[in-house]
Amino acid sequence: MSKISALKAIYSFYDDFLRGFPIACKKGCSTCCTTNVCVTSLEVEYLLKEGDIDKKQIESIKKASQKEHFIPNTTINTSAALYLSKRNPPEDSYPQDFERCPLLTSDGLCSIYPWRSFSCRSMSSETVCTEGGEARMEPFLVTVNLAIYQILEHIDADGWYGNLLDVIGIFKTNGAYKSGISSDLQERIKTNRPLPGFMVPQEEMVRFKSFLRRLSKVRVDSDRSLSDFLPENLFG
């Protein structure tokens, strides 16, 4: 089964789903476009294999990775497993860095917009963001976003998770994995894990189950839907 096809199906479904929410974000708005973007290796593989990204842009990413930047301590599903077992995940030891994303153009546009990661797709706000401010989002959308993060990691369970600046370093420019991962990169990226369950507030459970049923029915190709990429009992 093509994991990239499943990824593209999720992206398409989510982009349509997001149209049902009041979003203030507009073309050229780039306040949230920083070097804090975390991704799965599947998303980077898709970008490199099918995206319009050149060697100059990749070099810009690698140059940015040499500066101090945000490194997550755990993957999303690792944190979820800890929360579900009534334990707190370790706090991120690296500060959030609001350096400009190296993939932004001079006029504040995303140079890889059609192939951007879910971290970027899910960053929206009901109000216009300002420098140093915070995005405002309906609570249910936050729940959905977290669930999709978890699903993407599950689909890429044999892959990696980390800051885009680091994860891109484990690939060749054609999207193929390199023969080995350097020790410094191994310290900065985390191994993905399967979905342990969702973290859904009780008051949102009915609405969330309805959302999940819709998502699971999305076609990946003529023979498969997203349900084929997910655990049999998502609420077990």
Question: Tens digit of pLDDT for each residue in 95-115?
Answer: 666 789 999 998 889 999 999
Taking the domains of the chain in order of start, what are their residue ranges? Answer: 3-229
Catalogue the E-assigned strands of the chain: 38-40, 160-163, 190-191
Residue 106, token pair as written in the block: 């001079």
Position 236 pLDDT exceeds 60: no
Dihedral sign for Cα 126, 9, 219, 234, please.
negative
Reduced to 3 states (helix: H, G, I; strand: E, B; else coil), residue 161 is: strand
pTM of the model: 0.92
Dihedral sign for Cα 1, 195, 38, 214, please.
positive
Q: How much is the pLDDT for 32?
A: 85
102 CB neighbour count, 10 Å cutoff? 19
Q: How much is the pLDDT for 235?
A: 56
